[in-house]
Amino acid sequence: MIRVRDLTVTFGHGAQAIHAVRGIDLDVAEGESFGIVGESGSGKSTVLRALVGLNPDWTGEIAIAGEPQHRKRPKAFYRSCQMVFQDPYGSLHPRYTVDRILSEPIEIHRLGDADRRIVDVLRDVGLGPEFRFRFPHQLSGGQRQRVAVARALVLEPKILLLDEPTSALDVSVQAEILNLLRRLRHERGLTYVLVTHNLAVVAYMCERVAVMNLGQTVEELPVADLRAGQTDHAYTRQLLSASQGYDRQAVEGYRSF
Amino acid sequence: MSAPLLTVENLRVDFVTRRGIVPAVRGISFGVGREKVGIVGESGSGKAVTGRAVLRLVPHPGRVSAKRIDFDGVDLMGLSERELRQIRGERISMVMQDPKFSLNPVMRVGSQIAEAYRIHTGASASECRRRALAMLEAVRIRDVERVYRLFPHEVSGGMGQRIMIAMMLIPDPDLLIADEPTSALDVTVQMQVLAIVDDLVSQRGMGLMFISHDLNLVASFCDRVLIMYAGQIVENCLAAELHQARHPYTRGLLDSLPRVDDTRAELPTLARDPAWLEPLAADRTAGS
């Protein structure tokens, strides 16, 4: 479904150039849920932004659903591939109602039948019709993230790119959104690429995971191996140990990679 | 619990707004000894306001009242603003969440740490500089002479937070209030910063009030945990016993966390019981 070869993203040029992503290969099958984990500055979000076309300056090959992609994406591309952002407070237009937020993509793609689509998609993300004419500031963080998911789903895409979809939310709300995303994937046969710094979220949501550091893939492993702690790479082991909680002894052994 | 350093009794914080009074903290009592106490809750639970209320740093229109806030034999509620300044920073200090907003952007970080020492001790400039450099070494910064001369925008998040900790610890306080001190950091850096705090707390015999939303982190880092919900302490237990917590809210929070070795088909979500909002009997929150 998604095939990436030697993806490289550089910001700036000359001596100031920052190599955010340095030659990444990815293969994600249809219906699979693929995770990318890493710390800040590892390039994980940049990969996602290059995939969806928000980041035009990349080199390498990106093919989505068999179609090679270029800098500019055709409109039809966005019907098959949508993104959910980290911050539900910043990604919804503050002066648009939920209805208008959801009807805009329908108009742009001339799908028609907006009324039915909006009611259906709201129900699918667990919001009642009473939310349709509310503004984002009248919603809680979890409800807002549901609206962001609804906006991505209203075009009935095949691929959903998720950039830290729950890191701005409280843990009890995080559980609701993760359950919702898992259910939607099974119901609609969606393909997910999930970027997060939280190993537990990846272990819960994904089948395969790539660990990134400094713009490169450290390793790619099935989530079952991650659960069992079976990894050959010291970086992944350190990340695992740090996410299990505080351990004074373990911190002594940490090094920078 | 060791002899309490800080005793808070029946603390209330109300925010007076046009739409009426919003209670943020509703009559809580707790004590902090020379130990690491974690205060955990979700957004809006009142955990951060509790930390600020101790130092009388609740912003307008917040209103703080308490039967007493006793710190090492002194009732903080009865002090004038001037008297409180003798305690604030010197004997109780506070580390905030984001170093980007709490450091002076146009002052070299070393001078800021030295200033903290000079104000509280009145030492000479060269002595302040020497102490500041030693403190930077204590928070495990390499090449301290170089870092001393940097401006806040030139340091990374992890280093910024270490600089904040250095600044807060240089007057050698008895109690440190840390409000989400590592939430903005990567996990490995977070653990390294916590290890520094941990060592300093045990070496100097300080008390630590550690405010966080991260249950697992607090359970593994602190000695004792207070769980807050809607402005009340619903659970007060030893960190090691958190996983046998009794309150349904605590149980619900623990269950809703995904784990790396998770194989559950669905995460249980928290069903909030309106009964949790009822005022708790005083004896349930006062004990430890």
Count of H helices and E strands in chain A? Answer: 10, 10
Distance of residue A51 Cα from the nearest chain B Cα, in angstroms? 24
Chain B contact for A231 (CB, 8 A cutoff)? no
What mean pLDDT comes out for the span B35-52? 93
DSSP, residue by residue, B41-110: --TTSSHHHHHHHHTT-PPTTEEEE-SEEEETTEEGGG--HHHHHHHBTTTEEEE-S-HHHHS-TTS-HH
Residue found under tokens 């509703």: B26
Return d(Cα A192, Cα A81) in angstroms, integer: 10
Cis peptide before B171 (omega within 30 of 0): no
Is A200 within 8 Å of B261 (Cβ atoms)? Answer: no
pTM: 0.88
Predicted pLDDT of residue B285? 45
Amino acid letter, residue A44: K
From A171, A182, A239, residue closest to B257, measured CB to CB: A171
Is B25 within 8 Å of B55 (Cβ atoms)? Answer: no
pLDDT band at B281 (very low <50, low <70, confident <90, very high): low
Query: How far, in Å, are B151, B166, B212 from residue B62 at the CA level?
Result: 34, 30, 21
From B189, B252, B260, residue closest to A226, measured CB to CB: B260
Helix, coil or strand: residue B28: strand
Structure tokens at B38: 């974690």
- Minimal-distance CA residue of chain B relative to A38: B186
From A141, A227, A254, residue closest to B188, measured CB to CB: A254
Is A127 within 8 Å of A147 (Cβ atoms)? Answer: yes
Is B178 within 8 Å of B95 (Cβ atoms)? Answer: yes
From B194, B264, B269, residue closest to A176, measured CB to CB: B269
- Minimal-distance CA residue of chain A relative to B270: A172
For residue B11, list its beta bridge partners: B28
Residue A22 lies in a domain: no
Chain B contact for A201 (CB, 8 A cutoff)? yes
Chain B contact for A255 (CB, 8 A cutoff)? no
- Whose CA is closest to B72, among B51, B87, B60, B85? B87
B271, pLDDT greater than 80: yes
Is A154 within 8 Å of A118 (Cβ atoms)? Answer: yes
Structure tokens at A217: 């893939």
For residue B16, list its beta bridge partners: B21
DSSP, residue by residue, A73-122: PPTTHHHHEEEE-S-TTTSS-TTS-HHHHHHHHHHHTT---HHHHHHHHH
Structural domains of chain B sorted by starting position, each given as residue range(s) with its CATH number in brackets: 6-91+174-286 (3.40.50.300), 101-170 (no CATH)
Helix, coil or strand: residue B235: strand
Return d(Cα A177, Cα A168) in angstroms, integer: 12
Return d(Cα B167, Cα B169) in angstroms, integer: 6
Between B173 and B156, the higher pLDDT residue? B173
A163 Cα distance to chain centroid = 3
pLDDT tens string B164-216: 989 988 988 999 999 988 887 888 888 988 998 898 889 889 999 999 999 98
Task: Report CB contact under 8 Å: A175, B191.
Answer: no
Distance of residue A77 Cα from the nearest chain B Cα, in angstroms? 32
| A contact residues 106-125, partner B, Cβ 8 Å cutoff | none
Chain B contact for A251 (CB, 8 A cutoff)? yes
Query: Looking at the 3D structure of chain A, how many domains does it have?
Result: 1
Chain B contact for A63 (CB, 8 A cutoff)? no
- Whose CA is closest to B169, among B161, A1, B264? B161
Angle at A164 between CA A83 and CA A151, to 5 degrees: 30
Task: Report CB contact under 8 Å: A203, B253.
Answer: no
Q: Which residues of B touch A172 (CB under 8 A)?
A: 42, 252-253, 256, 269-270
Structure tokens at A40: 């800040």
Task: Report CB contact under 8 Å: B187, A250.
Answer: no
Interface probe, candidates A44, A146, A204, chain B, greatest B C-beta count within 10 A: A204
Structure tokens at B130: 């020497």
B280, pLDDT greater than 80: no
Distance of residue B75 Cα from the nearest chain A Cα, in angstroms? 34
Predicted pLDDT of residue A154? 95
Return d(Cα B39, Cα B26) in angstroms, integer: 15
Amino acid letter, residue B36: K
Listed as ranges, residues in chain A with pLDDT below 70 are: none
From B220, B261, B266, residue closest to A246, measured CB to CB: B220
Structure tokens at B277: 């909002």
From B186, B219, B262, residue closest to A245, measured CB to CB: B219
- Whose CA is closest to B178, among B209, B199, B206? B209
Is B205 within 8 Å of B150 (Cβ atoms)? Answer: no
Measured CB to CB, residues of chain B less than 8 Å from chain A are 42-43, 157, 186-192, 194-195, 198, 213, 215-217, 219-221, 252-253, 256-264, 266-270
Distance of residue B241 Cα from the nearest chain A Cα, in angstroms? 15
Predicted pLDDT of residue B284? 47
The alpha carbons of chain A give a radius of gyration, in whole angstroms, of: 19
Interface probe, candidates B141, B161, B183, B191, chain A, greatest A C-beta count within 10 A: B191
Interface contacts (A, B; CB < 8 Å): 101
- Indicate whether this complex's ipTM tops 0.85: no
A249 backbone dihedrals φ, ψ, rounded to 5° = -65, -45
CATH number at residue A177: 3.40.50.300
Distance of residue A53 Cα from the nearest chain B Cα, in angstroms? 27
Query: What integer best gives the mean pLDDT of chain B?
Result: 89
Distance of residue A71 Cα from the nearest chain B Cα, in angstroms? 32
Structure tokens at B229: 């919900």
Return d(Cα A62, Cα B89) in angstroms, integer: 55
Distance of residue B180 Cα from the nearest chain A Cα, in angstroms? 14
Task: Report CB contact under 8 Å: A175, B269.
Answer: yes
* pLDDT > 70: percent of chain B: 97
Amino acid letter, residue B202: S
Domain containing residue A78: 30-56+71-245
Distance of residue A227 Cα from the nearest chain B Cα, in angstroms? 5
Task: Report CB contact under 8 Å: B198, A248.
Answer: yes
Task: Report CB contact under 8 Å: B191, A254.
Answer: yes
Return d(Cα A17, Cα B254) in angstroms, integer: 44
pLDDT band at B2 (very low <50, low <70, confident <90, very high): low
Q: Which secondary-structure segment (H or E) carries A186?
A: helix A171-188
User: Which residues lie closer than 8 Å to A241 by C-beta, 6 or more apart?
Assistant: A247, A250
User: Which residues lie closer than 8 Å to A19 by C-beta, 6 or more apart?
Assistant: A8, A9, A10, A215
- Minimal-distance CA residue of chain B relative to A227: B261
Predicted pLDDT of residue B175? 95
Predicted pLDDT of residue B183? 81
Return d(Cα B105, Cα B185) in angstroms, integer: 20
Predicted pLDDT of residue B100? 76
Residue found under tokens 């919001």: A127
Residue A234 carries which DSSP code? H
Return d(Cα A93, Cα A95) in angstroms, integer: 6
Residue A254 lies in a domain: no
Predicted pLDDT of residue B190? 87
